[in-house]
Amino acid sequence: MPKHLNRRLAAIKSNNAAEPGFHFQLAQPSGQLGAVVQGIWSAMVTQTEPVAKSLYSDAGSGIVFNLSGEVSVNGAPLPQGVVVLPVNKRAEHIELASGSCIAGIRFHPAISFGVLGQHVATPSLISPEQAQRFALLEVLTELQQTRDTAKHLRILESWAQAQFSIGEVLPDYLAVALRGLESDMSPGQLSANQPLSQRQLERVFKAWLEMTPKHYQRIMRIKKAALYLREHKHANLADVAAQFGFSDQAHMTREFRAIADTTPGKL
């Protein structure tokens, strides 16, 4: 396994000690690939009971390889095969039945549209043209030949390295706008030092992310606050609200309910 991937490979909170029948591994690539892909992952259920998880909003999308078993997202069955996911605007809930095995690539926001040139409204099987262009059916076959989640990560990392480059996917002006919003720039200031007007940038966001710049910033604020709360479980919530740009604790709670379908306290 490449060293930069190996350093970031980790079995996350659903660890074997707590859930011996649920196996989940996640890798977060660095370097050129890390600019396109935020996560490469694999999950398998070997226990008799199904496993249910929350998928918090990240404004991104991805490709899922549904290898075996029954999997549902928000109660709707996930098709078998190579599946393109819609943009994740708020929390979703996934359930994996006994014997299910899935793996996938999670893109950074806007990247999926840059790669595939389209959005989907629901999890959808990839088109034959896209499958052929990206050699996805060959990857599916290779993944189906093993139940080793770590090997799934190696297969997907090798495939992604050969496929994606940030310079070929995301326009510079959009990358600058995304970074600005993640740094708490006001959505109304996006056109500063940009070749596009504010209205043009808003249309770009609608086309590439299916949301407004303001909604994207809301999602990123929730994502950063949620990551902080997971690492600082005894943090004062009023202090966290101020730290991440919410007007007060009540505002943070409302935003969590609207986008993450939970509260800071429950998280």
pLDDT reported for residue 12: 32
pLDDT reported for residue 4: 38
Pairing of strands 71-73, 92-96: antiparallel
Domain holding 215, by residue range, is 172-260
Please tell me whether residues 177 and 155 are part of one structural domain: no
Which tens digits make up the pLDDT trace of 52-64? Answer: 999 989 999 999 9
Please tell me whether residues 151 and 230 are part of one structural domain: no
In the chain, which residue ranges form alpha helices assigned H by DSSP?
3-8, 31-34, 111-116, 128-133, 136-144, 149-163, 166-169, 172-182, 198-209, 213-231, 237-243, 249-255
Which tens digits make up the pLDDT trace of 183-214? Answer: 888 988 888 878 899 999 999 999 999 999 99
Model confidence band, residue 164 (pLDDT cutoffs 50, 70, 90): confident
Measuring CA to CA, how many Å separate 130 from each of 63, 90, 126, 134, 246?
A: 12, 27, 6, 6, 41
- Contact criterion met (CB below 8 Å) for 221 and 185: no
Please tell me whether residues 74 and 197 are part of one structural domain: no
- Does this model's pTM top 0.75? yes
Please tell me whether residues 138 and 114 are part of one structural domain: yes
Three-state SS sequence of 220-246: HHHHHHHHHHHHCCCCCHHHHHHHCCC
Q: Is residue 265 part of a domain?
A: no
Please, what is the angle between helix 136-144 and helix 149-163, to 10°? 170
pLDDT reported for residue 30: 84
Euclidean distance between CA atoms 174 and 223, whole angstroms: 20
pLDDT reported for residue 15: 34
Q: Quick check: 182 pLDDT over 80?
A: yes
Look at residues 133, 166, 199 and tell me which one is the last residue of a structural domain.
166
CA nearest to 57, candidates 220, 217, 235, 244? 220
Please tell me whether residues 123 and 222 are part of one structural domain: no
**Which residues lie across from 77 on neighbouring strands?**
72
Q: Which comes out higher in pLDDT, residue 148 or 30?
A: 148
Look at residues 166, 191, 225 and tell me which one is the last residue of a structural domain.
166
Q: How many CB atoms lie within 10 A of CB 79?
A: 16
Would the CA dihedral through 10, 216, 64, 159 be positive or negative?
Answer: negative
Percentage of the chain with pLDDT > 90?
70
Please tell me whether residues 83 and 162 are part of one structural domain: yes
Find the mean pLDDT for residues 133-147. 95
Please tell me whether residues 147 and 181 are part of one structural domain: no
Look at residues 166, 188, 218 and tell me which one is the last residue of a structural domain.
166
The mean pLDDT value of the chain amounts to 88
Please tell me whether residues 180 and 140 are part of one structural domain: no
Model confidence band, residue 163 (pLDDT cutoffs 50, 70, 90): confident
- Contact criterion met (CB below 8 Å) for 71 and 94: yes
Q: Quick check: 254 pLDDT over 60?
A: yes
Q: Which two tokens stand for residue 228?
A: 């902080």
Model confidence band, residue 17 (pLDDT cutoffs 50, 70, 90): very low
Considering only 14-23, 87-96, 120-129, which range has the smallest mean pLDDT? Answer: 14-23
Model confidence band, residue 100 (pLDDT cutoffs 50, 70, 90): very high
